[in-house]
Amino acid sequence: MLGEATASWQTKRREETRRHILAAAWDVARAQGLAALTLREVAERVGMRAPSLYSHFDSKHAIYDAMFGQAWSEYEELLTGLEPTMPAEPRAALTLMARTFFDFSVADLARHQLMNLRTIPDFAPSAESYAPAVRVLDGLHVRLAAIGITAQEDVDLYVALVSGLIDQQWANDPGGTRWARLIDRAIDMYADALHLPRGPKEDR
């Protein structure tokens, strides 16, 4: 029993240390840029020597990998909480999904870059860290199919539309609302192109 308690305590302590390391890595990425992250600075922020980090992450890319998985898990959790409030009207549902991803992405540049852009050369997430992103994408396909959007090119267009608004917001009006204000209009144009019906509350 004593051995089990000790092992459990050690596991919890290790998990807590990993959380502190990841929090420090996010702080560095937000302050100096995602690509500027160094093991030395992360170690200093958690009161470690840089070599000690290797007992928790064997490389800088391993830290990026854990950050990637954490970011997509956070978004997946957000979507899970959103599901009960999803509107029945197709256009309203599309708009809510678009705005949710938009708001999440523009809230944190470093997180957005790691989740959605190829900012780090030679970095590719592991299967384990990529799994929540796959589940989110699979969920998107299910939600769009429920609306009547099944063609892959139509799904791709929706993703590109929302992603484009996010990128323009970051590039030209960070912290503002210039492209956020266009979400409703952009989704309406997309829905019109696919001839999606309007709900009772969506009539002009």
Confidence of residue 180 (pLDDT cuts 50, 70, 90): very high
> What mean pLDDT is predicted for residues 85-114?
96
The answer on 67 and 38 residing in a single domain is no
Whether the pLDDT of residue 51 is over 80: the answer is no
Cα–Cα distance between 98 and 79 in angstroms, integer?
12
Q: What pLDDT shows up at residue 6?
A: 57
**Do 50 and 87 lie in a common domain?**
no
Q: Which of 49-53, 99-103, 172-176 has the lowest mean pLDDT?
A: 49-53
Domain final residue pick, 13, 37, 58? 58
The average confidence (pLDDT) of the chain is: 92
On whether the pTM is more than 0.85, the answer is: yes
- What is the mean predicted confidence (pLDDT) over 169-175? 97
* Claim to verify: residue 54 and residue 97 sit in the same structural domain: no
Are 63 and 7 part of one and the same domain? no
Both 103 and 186 in one domain: the answer is yes
- The domain in which residue 106 lies consists of 59-204
18-32 tens-digit pLDDT: 999 999 999 999 999
The pLDDT value given to residue 163: 97
Average pLDDT (102-109) is 98
Span 130-141, mean pLDDT? 97
- Specify whether the CB–CB gap between 126 and 140 falls below 8 A: no
Is residue 194 located within the same domain as residue 114?
Answer: yes
pLDDT-derived band at 201 (thresholds 50, 70, 90) equals low
Tell me: pLDDT of 97 over 80: yes
Which of residues 27, 58, 89 is at a domain's end? Answer: 58
At 160 the pLDDT is 97
Number of Cβ atoms within 10 Å of the Cβ of 170? 17
* pLDDT computed for residue 10 by the predictor: 67
Task: Point out the domain boundary residue: 58, 81, 100.
Answer: 58
What is the model's pLDDT at position 202? 52
Distance CA 166, CA 180 (A): 8
Q: Number of structural domains, the chain?
A: 2
Backbone angles phi and psi of 177, in degrees to 5: -135, 15
Q: How many helices (H) and strands (E) does the chain have?
A: 8, 0
